[in-house]
Amino acid sequence: MTQPRSPLFELDDIHVSFATPDGPVEAVRGVSMQIARGETVAVVGESGSGKSQAMMAAMGLLAGNGQVTGAARFNGDNLIGQSKRALDRIRGAKITMIFQEPMTSLDPLYTIERQIAEPLMVHGGLSRRKARARALDLLELVRIPNAKARLGAYPHELSGGQRQRVMIAMALANDPDLLIADEPTTALDVTIQAEILGLLADLQTRLGMAILFITHDLGIVQALADRVYVMRHGVVVEHGPTDRIFAAPETAYTTMLLDSEPTGRKAPVAPEAETVMDARGVTVTFTTPAGFLSRPSAPIHAVRAVNLSLRRGETLGVVGESGSGKSTLGRAVLQLLPSEGRVSFLGTSISGLDRSAMRPYRKSLQMVFQDPYGSLSPRMTVGEIITEGLLVHAPELSAKDRDARARAALQEVDLDPAVRNRFPHEFSGGQRQRIAIARALVLHPTLIVLDEPTSALDRSVQKQIVTLLRDLQIRHAMSYIFISHDLAVVRALADHVMVMRDGTVVEAGSTAQIFDDPTSNYTRRLMRAAFDLSTVLSEQSVART
């Protein structure tokens, strides 16, 4: 696409700084970019690169301690420094935004119809009937199945993908010229992500608006964007047409982003290795008991009769979309949830053991959680977090011994042992995940259940964590149960893969077999959405025309 004379939206030398107790922190340092009418532009960068803050500043949505200089011109009008009232004429009408989290962006107390129709009535001056008709149109436009029935639904009745569609419908309500999509698919499963991206591409060709796509994932950019801006540390390090960026990146940073899919494969274990974990017919059913005035709700079968077996040093990858029961399975195996079936660890049955009977085994069975922000207690130092398990399992150790163990564990995960006295909020996501791994390692476990340990991290950090996990496994002969929806990571780590859907195993086998020769349609769809996004998107648009 050629550069038009006057861009639709233009950032000119935007600087954003935040006042903190330690003095101002510059988040964005002189960012300039242009978007032409009808163009799709992607802004790519890892977390903390300032990509979202630059847009927020342009839209007047900065946090209270933020300060912005520079100019953000929309059709030639500078948005920065305008009154809220003046901004509101543009925000929500000419420029609309969709955000990452579809769960929290909708008001849980409003029906879908009201969420979409109310702005139409207030800003657009439509009558109730017209607004309703328009809401229905919009829902059909974003391809929500059975749109008419969905008008009366509440947000919690919709799936994550559907909620994101509703958000897009709301953003489109006033026929915007520019849609800013801030990580719109990060919280979604790969297959849903493909659908949403396809929808956005389709809407753009039909409605002719410009789309500004903010993302950390270069993979999804290739299929969508005309041009790409790569940001790092608050500056644009590289920009240009998508094809050029992908074919011949100029900076090492872009190369690294492009190359950040985890590589390498796990070496197989010796066939004579002992079986560490063996589970037969694991079933988890959730029921809410009958209350004082309420009947018991229908039981939910989260996991149905799953078998798994794991030898020392092996990794089992558990793959599936959200709601498939993979995390529940991981917790059930560790006896953190009441479950049926038989689970044995090193030949001893551990199923149904209560808290105190389970305690001796906890030392050998560890878990690492998805959210590195939530899994570390914010009021404890890193040293206290890491050594907490020792208080339980090795109470005879003195404070000095515990400290030595903490230092060793931190060294294992490539963190400076001097960080022991710091608090978790001072670390980045990747560093926190390393701390969480150190907490599991300090007890020298036999098996670690890793529940989406890389999902909340940037691609390049993911890669480092994957390498770390592989190294640690070899060094300590540990077994992993690796739960993830990210197929690329699973491929780099697992010996065996189990694909789950709706609580049951759809397909299981060796990693090579699952990835190269999947037998079930569901697995095939997952693979294609993850590794072949462009083809999926072009097929979608072909299917539509």
Partner 1 sequence: MTDMPPLSAAALPDSSSRSLWATALLRLRRNRAAMGSIVVLILLSLAGIFGPMLSPHDYARVYPAFVKVPASVEAYPRAADILPAAEQVLTRARLTPDTIRLDGTVLTVTASASRPIDPRVTRYLDRSDLFSNARVTATAPDDLSVTMQADVARYYFFAGTDANGRDLLARILISIRISLMIGALATTVALIVGVAYGATAGYLGGRIDSLMMRLVDILYSLPFIFFVILLVVFFGRNIVLMFIAVGMVEWLDMARIVRGQTISLRRREFVQAADALGVGAGGILRRHIIPNTLGPVIVYMTLLIPKVILLESFLSFLGLGVQEPLSSLGVLISEGAKDMRGAPYMLLYPSIALTLLLFALNFLGDGLRDALDPKDR
| Residues near partner 1 (CB under 8 A) | 21-22, 64, 252-253, 255-256, 259, 334, 336, 355-356, 358-359, 362-363, 365-367, 369-371, 374-381, 384, 388-389, 391-393, 414-416, 418-419, 421-423, 425-428, 430-431, 434, 436, 439, 443, 460-461, 464
> In angstroms, rounded to a whole number, what is the distance separating the alpha carbons of residues 10 and 471?
46
Q: List, in order, residues 6 or more apart from 399 with CB less than 8 Å away.
A: none
Hey, what's the torsion of the CAs at 312, 313, 314, 316, to 10 degrees? 90
Provide the minimum distance between the beta carbon of 458 and partner 1 in the complex, in angstroms, as a whole number. Answer: 10
Nearer to partner 1, 22 or 274 (CB): 22
Structure token digits, residue 224:
């969508």
Provide the minimum distance between the beta carbon of 22 and partner 1 in the complex, in angstroms, as a whole number. Answer: 6
> In angstroms, rounded to a whole number, what is the distance separating the alpha carbons of residues 351 and 337?
10
Distance separating the N- and C-terminal Cα atoms of the chain: 23
Provide the minimum distance between the beta carbon of 201 and partner 1 in the complex, in angstroms, as a whole number. Answer: 30
Nearer to partner 1, 121 or 358 (CB): 358
For 422, counting Cβ atoms within 10 Å of its Cβ (0-12 exposed, 13-18 middle, 19+ buried), the class is middle
For 302, counting Cβ atoms within 10 Å of its Cβ (0-12 exposed, 13-18 middle, 19+ buried), the class is buried
Nearer to partner 1, 167 or 365 (CB): 365
Nearer to partner 1, 484 or 511 (CB): 484
Nearer to partner 1, 128 or 359 (CB): 359
Provide the minimum distance between the beta carbon of 255 and partner 1 in the complex, in angstroms, as a whole number. Answer: 8
Nearer to partner 1, 274 or 354 (CB): 354
Provide the minimum distance between the beta carbon of 459 and partner 1 in the complex, in angstroms, as a whole number. Answer: 11
Task: Compute the half-sphere exposure of residue 385: CA atoms within 13 Å on the CB side of its CA.
Answer: 27
Provide the minimum distance between the beta carbon of 499 and partner 1 in the complex, in angstroms, as a whole number. Answer: 25
Q: List, in order, residues 6 or more apart from 221 with CB less than 8 Å away.
A: 42, 44, 213, 215, 228, 242
Distance, CA of 423 to chain centre: 24
Nearer to partner 1, 145 or 264 (CB): 264
Provide the minimum distance between the beta carbon of 222 and partner 1 in the complex, in angstroms, as a whole number. Answer: 20
> In angstroms, rounded to a whole number, what is the distance separating the alpha carbons of residues 135 and 115?
9
Count other Cβ atoms within 10 Å, centred on residue 332.
24
Q: Closest by alpha carbon to 60, among 14, 29, 106?
A: 14
> In angstroms, rounded to a whole number, what is the distance separating the alpha carbons of residues 48 and 109?
33
List 214's β-bridge partners, or say none.
43, 182
Nearer to partner 1, 300 or 392 (CB): 392
> In angstroms, rounded to a whole number, what is the distance separating the alpha carbons of residues 271 and 427?
40
Distance, CA of 534 to chain centre: 20
Nearer to partner 1, 159 or 364 (CB): 364
Nearer to partner 1, 245 or 376 (CB): 376
Nearer to partner 1, 369 or 522 (CB): 369
Q: Closest by alpha carbon to 31, among 255, 231, 253?
A: 231
> In angstroms, rounded to a whole number, what is the distance separating the alpha carbons of residues 375 and 371?
6
Provide the minimum distance between the beta carbon of 289 and partner 1 in the complex, in angstroms, as a whole number. Answer: 9
Structure token digits, residue 120:
């139409």
Q: Closest by alpha carbon to 161, among 493, 529, 416, 544?
A: 529
Provide the minimum distance between the beta carbon of 372 and partner 1 in the complex, in angstroms, as a whole number. Answer: 9
Q: Closest by alpha carbon to 433, among 487, 489, 392, 394?
A: 489
Provide the minimum distance between the beta carbon of 421 and partner 1 in the complex, in angstroms, as a whole number. Answer: 6
Provide the minimum distance between the beta carbon of 387 and partner 1 in the complex, in angstroms, as a whole number. Answer: 10
Nearer to partner 1, 175 or 414 (CB): 414
Nearer to partner 1, 335 or 523 (CB): 335
Task: Compute the half-sphere exposure of residue 347: CA atoms within 13 Å on the CB side of its CA.
Answer: 1
Residue 99 φ/ψ, nearest 5 degrees: -110, 175
Using the structure block, give the residue that is written with the tokens 């305690």: 359
Amino acid (1-letter code) at residue 30: G
Provide the minimum distance between the beta carbon of 367 and partner 1 in the complex, in angstroms, as a whole number. Answer: 4
The strand ranges marked E within 393-488 are 447-451, 479-484
Q: 500 and 320 in contact (C-beta within 8 Å)?
A: yes
Provide the minimum distance between the beta carbon of 65 and partner 1 in the complex, in angstroms, as a whole number. Answer: 9
